[in-house]
């Protein structure tokens, strides 16, 4: 397998949905699924184009009530391109005979290619070779190039190139009962001979979208005018060209498309901008060259190279690739968050969850400007989070579990269980821990970048308001002399209420309480860090008093953490009284039990009754914090903490988790990386396969799982190198899986690029020329200085159990 391409060697209609998601091309501004140009939305294909931040809201009456959903809108399909020989049908690879089919996604260049040999019912054989890109340097441009070669026939041929705005959101079967027509057609026209233009608007958010397509034709290298025809109907415009071809000729169709919307800056209006962009755009070849160049710059920053690990390398790159298509340097200038399912499909409606926790670490060490922009997405919605807190009876700021355009709570109120066909109340908005994740992400970003200005101006305000929220959510329990946080859900979505309770919510979810304790302590420290002037300004604007800060410290030291009798950390208070689940029996009965919540509900039972988790919950703590940091938090809370506690807690939950979320294996692999390397590697392999093989049984065609994708890279980046920044010090503690003999990557630490090479038992860290003031680097808690040579080389001495300078 080539490490830089995702290859398919045959057409498989059952796999098309998956391939379309995996072959999506994007640039952080917009993305388009890898559907073929001639395909139409239906059972097999689903062309979809999504704009970062392009949402619209619709209402539907379901189960006797009107519910509102905000969706990432499927925008007009700009891919439409097809041909037919005179008297023949429009090209449809499934109608005739496919003699050869090759498809490949070139990760290095960001190009999707297809080559096929097709025989139609009249025995005409045609070779079609296509390339497509969504420009990484010019975010409004996409381009397609088709080579059509009649192998054994000659005659007239028509090519049709269209823009189709009659599309709806139909990419997720579970949502089919919900309203899905978001676009209102505005106009179609032909601003110049070779260019067509389509304008549409979303019906509620009033987002105007303009696409312009320039289609040009060459036969054997010569431009061809041919007979032109324009076809138009509401929301659709096509350009049809008819010309002569002789067997062996090569016709090249080049379609360059520009998309602008009313969210864009520095334009007069989208229609004009789209037309200008497309008129000024270079040829496909020129665009390809500049596009490749930008991708090569991105790869210089972002590549992670493995020695060994079989197919891991290509998949890891595929994951980095999809991350950069969803968010890229273009995101820095946009007001967008990072959707959990990428810009690759309609699952979860393009909403933003806590998955940022899994995505930001990769960006922090490479393009932290993107993290900053994504954190600013949260900052701009701070007022909405304040409103949410007040509505729920709290103070400060409470971020929504699912966030979209304006930061209100977008979680659905009911969801469909496809197994039973029933609409079930959805309480997932009780996952208050998302606010802790926002605070945590602020702090981690600042640690890696030392961006004090961000901390003082945006970060501190978010941290203080989130700390305030947690302080207001904590209630004093006089009996146990601890603070409780009640009525919440942890990350494990299988548990949303106690078995016999009428009201949703659980008490003292350990993950939530420990995160709250961390936020409260961190906020108090940040208060001391931001300088007198900013402290005063924020104290005045937020009416913060010294007393309130001291309350945060007090509460942060006295939150309750439930333990089971045998000392295991409890997922939430009362978890140990739930019934054990018959894992073996259910596996035997159903095979795939990832979503046993749905299976049990369909049987009239409830997963709430069992010690069965969808995903890592308590274990998140060992994922987010190093053992040292967690030790400090437990000491702050005055609870015991030991290596045995970590190991027994991991073991306990590992046996009781269905991994119904792709995030779960990322976390479990991480927490096992040092205690059970083999199992950690097995889980890592499964994380790698989650999307490429659609391991969750049909979810990837609806959108990739970006948290798991980025998490897989982070497992290598931080998990196996022990990379961490704490107290301003870069720390490493490498522990490579047996299957890997080495790894190489570049890291950005506080504005400087470092190169990290791990090769067998050797570690080399190289700093850039002229970086004299390299700070301390800790490898397994020993101090090393890069010094004048700009480089440290160490080898691990098993005898001494530590790293030694490598003088060889
Ligand atoms: C998981 C959540 C996650 C969401 C979006 C759900 O299935 O349980 O933890 O945030 O997917 O990825």
Q: Would you call 646 helix, strand, or coil by DSSP?
A: helix
| Residue (of 370, 428, 429, 374) closest to 399 by Cα position | 429
Q: What is the pLDDT of residue 773?
A: 46
Question: Where in 53-180 does DSSP place strands (E)?
Answer: 55-62, 65-72, 81-85, 97-106, 111-119, 125-134, 141-150, 155-164
- Nearest CA, atom 8, ligand 1: 661
Is the minimum distance from the CB of 347 to ligand 1 under 6 angstroms?
no
Going 161 to 166 to 167 to 170, the CA torsion angle's sign is negative
Q: Could you tell me the mean pLDDT of each successive run of 10 residues in the chain, 808 residues long?
A: 92 96 98 96 95 98 90 98 94 94 98 98 96 98 98 97 98 93 98 96 98 97 88 97 96 98 98 98 98 98 92 96 98 98 98 98 98 98 98 98 98 92 95 98 97 97 98 98 98 96 97 98 97 97 97 98 96 97 95 92 96 97 95 97 95 96 97 91 96 93 98 96 87 88 93 89 80 60 63 76 72
Q: Cα 214–218–220 angle (5° rounding)? A: 165
Measured from the Cβ of residue 563, the count of other Cβ atoms closer than 10 Å reads: 15
How far is 484 from 488, CA to CA, in rounded Å? 11
- Nearest CA, atom 1, ligand 1: 661
Is residue 760 in a domain?
yes
The tokens for 67 are: 């519910």
| Residue (of 595, 215, 223, 269) closest to 416 by Cα position | 595
124 CB-near residues (< 8 Å, 6+ apart): 85, 88, 150, 152, 153
State residue 536 phi and psi, 5-degree precision: -65, -45
Is residue 372 in a domain?
no
Instruction: Please report, for the domain that includes residue 156, its CATH number.
Output: 2.70.98.40
| Closest ligand 1 atom, residue 348 Cα | 5
- Give the residue numbers spanning the domain of 57: 5-300
Q: How many residues does the chain have?
A: 808
| Closest ligand 1 atom, residue 706 Cα | 12
Report how far ligand 1's centroid is from the alpha carbon of 715 (Å).
18
Is the minimum distance from the CB of 493 to ligand 1 under 6 angstroms?
yes
- Nearest CA, atom 9, ligand 1: 491
Question: Is 354 part of any known ligand binding site?
Answer: yes
Is the minimum distance from the CB of 508 to ligand 1 under 6 angstroms?
no
Q: What is the pLDDT of residue 559?
A: 98
Q: Would you call 244 helix, strand, or coil by DSSP?
A: strand
Report how far ligand 1's centroid is from the alpha carbon of 348 (Å).
9
Is residue 695 in a domain?
no
| Residue (of 569, 481, 694) closest to 15 by Cα position | 694
CB of 435 within 8 A of CB of 616? no
How far is 637 from 179, CA to CA, in rounded Å? 49
Q: Cα 514–722–632 angle (5° rounding)? A: 30
- Nearest CA, atom 6, ligand 1: 661
Q: What is the pLDDT of residue 540?
A: 97
- Nearest CA, atom 12, ligand 1: 340
Question: Which of 300, 335, 369 lies at the terminal end of a domain, its last residue?
Answer: 300
Instruction: Report long-range pairs for 722-729 (Cβ below 8 Å, ≥24 apart).
Output: 722/780, 723/365, 723/747, 723/756, 724/626, 725/447, 725/448, 725/749, 726/447, 726/626, 726/628, 726/629, 728/447, 728/450, 728/775, 729/775, 729/776, 729/777, 729/778
| Closest ligand 1 atom, residue 355 Cα | 10
Q: Which helix (H) or strand (E) holds 375?
A: helix 368-380
Instruction: Please report, for the domain that includes residue 783, its CATH number.
Output: 2.60.420
Q: Would you call 186 helix, strand, or coil by DSSP?
A: strand
Is the minimum distance from the CB of 615 to ligand 1 under 6 angstroms?
yes
DSSP readout, 472-515? HHEEEETTTTEEEE-SB--S-TT-SB-TT-SS-BBS--HHHHHH
Report how far ligand 1's centroid is from the alpha carbon of 642 (Å).
30
| Residue (of 623, 652, 625, 649) closest to 636 by Cα position | 625
| Most informative mutation of 430, 707, 708, 710 for ligand 1 (most atoms within 8 A of CB) | 707
CB of 120 within 8 A of CB of 89? yes
Residues identified as active-site: 493
- Nearest CA, atom 11, ligand 1: 661
Sort strands 740-749 and 729-732 into parallel, antiparallel or unpaired.
unpaired
How far is 190 from 197, CA to CA, in rounded Å? 6
The tokens for 295 are: 């991708």
How far is 364 from 449, CA to CA, in rounded Å? 7
How far is 120 from 762, CA to CA, in rounded Å? 59
| Closest ligand 1 atom, residue 707 Cα | 12
Q: What is the pLDDT of residue 804?
A: 77
Q: Would you call 560 helix, strand, or coil by DSSP?
A: coil
Q: Cα 785–788–793 angle (5° rounding)? A: 55
Is the minimum distance from the CB of 353 to ligand 1 under 6 angstroms?
yes
| Residue (of 2, 705, 675) closest to 686 by Cα position | 705
Question: Which of 254, 271, 300 lies at the terminal end of a domain, its last residue?
Answer: 300
Report how far ligand 1's centroid is from the alpha carbon of 245 (Å).
53
Is the minimum distance from the CB of 354 to ligand 1 under 6 angstroms?
yes
| Residue (of 259, 253, 109) closest to 199 by Cα position | 259
How many folded domains does the chain comprise? Answer: 2
Is residue 270 in a domain?
yes
Is residue 376 in a domain?
no
Find the DSSP H helices in 620-751: 620-624, 627-637, 643-654, 662-672, 677-692, 706-714
Is the minimum distance from the CB of 709 to ligand 1 under 6 angstroms?
no
The DSSP symbol for 796 reads: E
How far is 260 from 495, CA to CA, in rounded Å? 43
Measured from the Cβ of residue 769, the count of other Cβ atoms closer than 10 Å reads: 7
Q: What is the pLDDT of residue 771?
A: 62
| Residue (of 796, 791, 744) closest to 771 by Cα position | 791
How far is 470 from 398, CA to CA, in rounded Å? 9
How far is 81 from 694, CA to CA, in rounded Å? 28
Report how far ligand 1's centroid is from the alpha carbon of 662 (Å).
8
| Closest ligand 1 atom, residue 354 Cα | 10
Q: What is the pLDDT of residue 227?
A: 78
How far is 660 from 495, CA to CA, in rounded Å? 13
Find the DSSP H helices in 673-790: 677-692, 706-714
Question: Which of 256, 275, 300 lies at the terminal end of a domain, its last residue?
Answer: 300
CB of 491 within 8 A of CB of 567? no
Q: What is the pLDDT of residue 750?
A: 87
DSSP readout, 509-538? -HHHHHHHHHHHHHHHHHHHHS-HHHHHHH
Report how far ligand 1's centroid is from the alpha carbon of 661 (Å).
6
CB of 164 within 8 A of CB of 235? yes
Sort strands 729-732 and 777-779 into parallel, antiparallel or unpaired.
parallel
- Nearest CA, atom 5, ligand 1: 340
Is the minimum distance from the CB of 511 to ligand 1 under 6 angstroms?
no
Is residue 56 in a domain?
yes
Report how far ligand 1's centroid is from the alpha carbon of 703 (Å).
13
Report how far ligand 1's centroid is from the alpha carbon of 377 (Å).
20
Report how far ligand 1's centroid is from the alpha carbon of 491 (Å).
8
Q: Would you call 623 helix, strand, or coil by DSSP?
A: helix
Question: Is 615 part of any known ligand binding site?
Answer: yes
| Most informative mutation of 344, 355, 358, 597 for ligand 1 (most atoms within 8 A of CB) | 355
Q: Which helix (H) or strand (E) holds 613?
A: none
Is the minimum distance from the CB of 663 to ligand 1 under 6 angstroms?
yes
Q: Would you call 544 helix, strand, or coil by DSSP?
A: coil
CB of 687 within 8 A of CB of 664? no
| Closest ligand 1 atom, residue 705 Cα | 12
Question: Where in 220-323 does DSSP place strands (E)?
Answer: 222-223, 227-233, 236-245, 251-261, 304-308
How far is 474 from 476, CA to CA, in rounded Å? 7
Is the minimum distance from the CB of 134 to ligand 1 under 6 angstroms?
no
Measured from the Cβ of residue 591, the count of other Cβ atoms closer than 10 Å reads: 8
Is residue 456 in a domain?
no
Is the minimum distance from the CB of 711 to ligand 1 under 6 angstroms?
no
Is residue 359 in a domain?
no
674 CB-near residues (< 8 Å, 6+ apart): 735
| Most informative mutation of 354, 399, 493 for ligand 1 (most atoms within 8 A of CB) | 493
């Amino acid at each position: 397998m080539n490490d830089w391409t995702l290859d398919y060697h045959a057409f498989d209609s059952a796999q098309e949905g998956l391939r379309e998601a995996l072959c999506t091309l994007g640039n952080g501004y917009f993305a388009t699924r890898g559907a073929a140009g001639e395909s139409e939305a239906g059972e097999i294909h689903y062309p979809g184009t999504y704009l970062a931040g392009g949402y619209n809201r619709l209402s539907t009456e379901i189960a006797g009530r009107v519910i509102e959903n905000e969706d990432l809108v499927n925008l007009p399909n700009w891919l439409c391109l097809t041909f037919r020989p005179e008297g023949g049908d429009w090209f449809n690879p499934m109608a005739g005979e496919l003699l050869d089919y090759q498809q490949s996604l070139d990760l290095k260049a960001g190009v999707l290619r297809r080559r096929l040999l097709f025989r139609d019912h009249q025995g005409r054989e045609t070779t079609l070779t296509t390339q497509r890109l969504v420009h990484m340097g010019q975010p409004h441009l996409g381009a397609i190039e088709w080579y059509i070669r009649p192998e054994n026939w000659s005659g007239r041929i028509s090519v049709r190139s269209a823009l189709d705005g009659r599309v709806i959101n139909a990419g997720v079967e579970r949502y089919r009962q919900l309203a899905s027509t978001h676009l209102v057609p505005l106009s179609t026209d032909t601003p110049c001979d070779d260019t067509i233009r389509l304008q549409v608007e979303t019906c509620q958010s009033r987002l105007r979208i303009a696409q312009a397509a320039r289609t040009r034709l060459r036969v054997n290298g010569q431009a061809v005018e041919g007979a032109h025809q324009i076809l138009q109907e509401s929301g659709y415009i096509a350009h049809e060209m008819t010309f002569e071809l002789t067997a062996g000729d090569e016709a090249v169709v080049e379609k360059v498309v520009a998309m602008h919307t009313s969210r864009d800056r520095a334009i007069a209006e989208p229609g004009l901008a789209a037309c200008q962009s497309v008129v000024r755009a270079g040829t496909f070849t020129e665009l390809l060259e500049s596009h490749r160049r930008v991708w090569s710059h991105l790869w210089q920053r972002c590549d992670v190279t493995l020695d060994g690990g079989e197919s891991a390398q290509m998949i890891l790159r595929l994951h980095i690739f999809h991350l950069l298509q969803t968010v890229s340097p273009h995101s820095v200038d946009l007001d967008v968050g990072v959707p959990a399912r990428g810009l690759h499909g309609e699952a979860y409606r393009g909403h933003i969850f806590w998955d940022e926790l899994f995505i930001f670490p990769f960006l922090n060490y490479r393009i932290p400007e993107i993290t900053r922009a994504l954190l600013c997405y949260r900052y701009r919605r701070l007022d909405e989070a304040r409103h949410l807190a007040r509505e729920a009876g709290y103070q400060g700021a409470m971020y929504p579990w699912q966030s979209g355009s304006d930061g209100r709570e977008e979680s659905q109120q009911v969801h469909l269980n496809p197994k039973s066909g029933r609409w079930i109340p959805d309480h997932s908005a009780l996952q208050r821990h998302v606010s802790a994740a926002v605070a945590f992400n602020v702090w981690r970003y600042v640690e890696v970048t030392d961006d004090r200005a961000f901390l003082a101006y945006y970060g501190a305000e978010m941290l203080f308001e989130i700390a305030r929220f947690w302080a207001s959510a904590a209630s004093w329990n006089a009996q146990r002399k601890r603070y409780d946080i009640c009525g919440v859900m942890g990350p494990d979505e299988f548990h949303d209420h106690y078995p016999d309770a009428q009201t949703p919510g659980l008490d003292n979810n350990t993950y939530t309480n420990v995160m709250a304790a961390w936020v409260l302590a961190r906020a108090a420290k940040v208060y001391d860090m931001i300088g007198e002037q900013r402290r005063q300004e924020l104290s005045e604007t937020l009416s913060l008093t010294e007393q309130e800060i001291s309350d945060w410290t007090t509460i942060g030291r006295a939150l309750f953490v439930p333990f089971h009798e045998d000392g295991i950390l409890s997922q939430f208070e009362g978890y140990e009284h739930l019934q054990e689940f018959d894992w073996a029996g259910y596996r035997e009965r159903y095979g795939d039990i990832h979503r046993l919540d749905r299976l049990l509900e369909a049987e009239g039972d409830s997963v709430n009754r069992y010690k069965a988790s969808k995903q890592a919950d308590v274990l998140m703590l060992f994922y987010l914090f190093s053992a040292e940091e967690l030790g400090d938090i437990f000491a702050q809370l005055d609870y015991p903490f030991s290596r045995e506690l970590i190991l027994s807690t991991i073991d306990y939950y590992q046996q009781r988790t269905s991994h119904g979320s792709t995030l779960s294996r990322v976390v479990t692999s991480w927490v096992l990386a040092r205690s059970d390397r083999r199992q950690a590697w097995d889980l890592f392999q499964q994380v790698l396969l989650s999307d490429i093989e659609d391991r969750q049984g049909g979810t990837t065609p609806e959108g990739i799982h970006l948290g798991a994708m980025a998490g897989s890279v982070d497992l290598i980046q931080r998990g196996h190198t022990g990379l961490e920044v704490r107290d301003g010090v870069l720390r490493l503690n490498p522990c490579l899986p047996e299957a890997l003999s080495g790894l190489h990557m570049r890291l950005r630490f506080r504005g400087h690029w470092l190169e990290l090479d791990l090769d067998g038992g050797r570690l080399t860290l190289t700093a850039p020329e002229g970086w004299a003031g390299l700070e301390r680097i800790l490898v397994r808690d020993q101090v090393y200085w890069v010094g004048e040579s700009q480089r440290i080389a160490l080898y691990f001495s098993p005898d001494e159990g530590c790293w030694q300078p490598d003088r060889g």
